[in-house]
Amino acid sequence: MSTLPEAPLQGATLKAGRHDPSGRIRLLVSDIDGTLVTRTKELTPAVLEMAPRLRDASVQLALVSSRPARGMDMFLQPLGIDTPRAGLNGGEILAPDGSLVAAMALDPQVARIVVETLDEHGVDSWLFAEGSWLIRRPDGAYVAQEHRAVQLEPVVVDSFASHYHKVGKIMGSSADYHLLERVEKNVQTLLGDRVNAHRSQSYYLDVTHPDANKGRAALHLADLLGVPPAEMACIGDMSNDIAMLQVAGVAIAMGNATDEVAAAAHFVTDSNEQDGWATAMERFILPRSPGYGRPGEAA
């Protein structure tokens, strides 16, 4: 069996300032948008080829996303995924058969304050509650894009007033990225430990239950699969991914990640437009897998 690479190869940088990366990985927890898929929400041939190689090397693949859990169904069959998955940044976890394992909802009063704050700043808001996607403006700037991405039909309502119970996530969307960055900080400061507010894209702000974050979600997935955190790798690109990078045995940031995310990772790979996900698997996950060097897996 070959030893681990002494240094990262071109296009992937080892980051300092945190514990050393683990030498053994049996689970990869992956973000989707900006990480696993391209800007057009597609799985590249390299990603599709890498998924069975992970399985052959005894590395399980689990997905965690700001999407509702049902909004990642289209990736399960192409990637051969039969593991639990976490949606709404950990606000809901589904078993492999799609049944609900766990869910967290915002306090109704807190949910109302969040929506009012977004309204005050001119940020379009959506609610994700009990499997439904609720919107007030079907002509909102990012509604059609989100519909294509998650393949869920939005439910149009005149008001959110009667829908604040069991809200798993509030999403704010705006084409003014700098405004959304300011609103992110404003919401977190205003509500403190009553919410978890992070952008999942430059144009999306996710607000969830304070305990609903990708770090807790990744640990929950690892526990369900019987894998210790030290043998779990995580990969992502946005600030909502930092919590899971911080608990991973191997933490990988995409090349398109923000500087803050890159600083939380052991390695930085190429961007999602340059097959950075597949590159990271080849360089940092497969060499640490239980099956590395077996017949059929290059040593």
Output the pLDDT for position 298: 45
Residue 58, judged by CB atoms within 10 A of its CB (0-12, 13-18, 19+), counts as middle
The percentage of the chain sitting over the pLDDT mark of 90, rounded to a whole number, equals 87
Residue 79 to residue 140: CA distance in whole angstroms: 32
Give tens-digit pLDDT for 233-255: 999 999 999 999 999 999 999 99
pTM of the full predicted structure? 0.84
The end-to-end CA distance of the chain, in Å, is 7
Looking at residue 291, its pLDDT comes to 86
Look at residue 260 and tell me whether its pLDDT is greater than 90: yes
Average pLDDT estimate for 147-152: 91
> What residue ranges of the chain are covered by domains with CATH 3.30.1240.10?
108-208
Q: How far apart are CA 281 and CA 69, in angstroms?
A: 24
pLDDT for the residue 7: 33
What would the pLDDT profile of 53-94 be if each residue is shown by its tens digit?
999 999 999 999 999 988 999 999 999 999 999 999 999 999
Q: Are 44 and 276 in contact (CB under 8 A)?
A: no
Fold of 108-208: 3.30.1240
Q: Where in the chain is the domain with CATH 3.40.50.1000?
A: 13-103+213-288
Q: Does domain 13-103+213-288 have CATH number 3.40.1160.10?
A: no
Residue 247, token pair as written in the block:
């608990």
CA–CA distances in Å: residue 264 to residues 14, 240, 253: 11, 12, 8
